[in-house]
Every structure is written in structure tokens, then in C-alpha cells.
């Protein structure tokens, strides 16, 4: 979504190690780690993810769920 950001100071950075792109979402740090993302921040807190990493996170968690279901 095109969104004007004039609050530059409150802009968060992606918490994935070595990334640093602008964060668009925040998720549970533990879930992010479970999804295979290595966080530069404390995983017991929320992790901020950029668009790319959020997409990756969603893909991984979806796969996880499928695997869990298949494991039944």
C-alpha cells in the first residue's frame, strides 16, 4: 500500500540479522525464530519484519502448519 511516511523517527527496522530494511509488520520473536529467521533482537520480544521477511515468515509458518497436520 502506498503510504506517506512523515513519522520517520518512529520507523522501525527489520530485526532479521543483516537486513535492516524498513519493517512493515511485527510478529512474535519466538514464532519468527521457529520460522527459521535469525533475529538480531531479543526473541522473547516482538520482532519487526520487512516486507520480504514477513512474506518469508508467512510462507514458513504456513508450511509448518501443513506439516503438523500431515503428522497427525
CB of 72 to Zn ion, least distance (A): 33
Binds Zn ion by CB under 5 A, chosen from 39, 53, 55, 69: 53
Beta carbon nearer to Zn ion, 2 or 18 = 18
Contact by Cβ (8 Å): 49, 23: yes
| H or E element in which residue 53 lies | helix 51-70
Rule CB under 5 A: choose which of 37, 39, 50, 57 binds Zn ion: 50
Nearer to Zn ion, 39 or 53 (CB): 53
Min. distance of Cβ 2 from Zn ion in angstroms?
20
Pairing of strands 23-28, 46-50: antiparallel
Amino acid at each position: 500500500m502506498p503510504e506517506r511516511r512523515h513519522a520517520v523517527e518512529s520507523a522501525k527496522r527489520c530485526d532479521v540479522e543483516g537486513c535492516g530494511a524498513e519493517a512493515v509488520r511485527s510478529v512474535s520473536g519466538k514464532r519468527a525464530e521457529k520460522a527459521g529467521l535469525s533475529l538480531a533482537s531479543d526473541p522473547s520480544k516482538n520482532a519487526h519484519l520487512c516486507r520480504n521477511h514477513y512474506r518469508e515468515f508467512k510462507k514458513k509458518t504456513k508450511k509448518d502448519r501443513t506439516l503438523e497436520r500431515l503428522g497427525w
